Amino acid sequence: MVVIHWATPSLRASLMMSSDEVNILDSINPVEEIDSFFEATEIPKLTPSIIEDILFLSAILYINQSHWTVWINEKTYTAEDAENETLKITKVTNNHIKFELKDMTKKIIKLSVNKSLVSVGYRIIDGDARVKSKPVLL
């Protein structure tokens, strides 16, 4: 029997499989392909439709209310350029931002640094949700 644990703070899960089940999965997705995916040095580019579903706040450079820069999905927003076709940033502090998604309800969302918003269900999770973490095998 094989037990797989994911070591992600926001996801605590275990999966138990028999040897036969592991062999079936191995025949569908060879281990070499899975290992090569996780060993890739670059994050694969995501299609625009996926990027819009997940917003990752990687950093905030905050000086004061009128001088700040935030990085969301590798795009910079400043106090002078706080709005685009999909979102509008309404408030920035030194550790979080507040914004609204234009194509959704006008609900104000609060997002802290190194957190992701999964727009389906408005779930906020730790880390970059656009990147899959490598499962830990025990």
pLDDT, tens only, 10-63: 444 456 667 777 777 667 655 455 555 556 555 544 444 433 588 999 999 999
DSSP string, 4-37: EEEEETTEEEEEEE-HHHHHHHHHHS-HHHHHHH
6-10, 108-112, 134-138: range with highest mean pLDDT: 108-112
Phi, psi of 109 (to 5 degrees): -115, 135
* Cα-based angle 53, 54, 58 (whole degrees, multiple of 5): 155
Q: Residues 67, 60: contact at Cβ < 8 Å?
A: no
Which region among 5-14, 25-34, 122-131 has the lowest average model confidence (pLDDT)?
5-14
Q: What is the pTM of this model?
A: 0.57
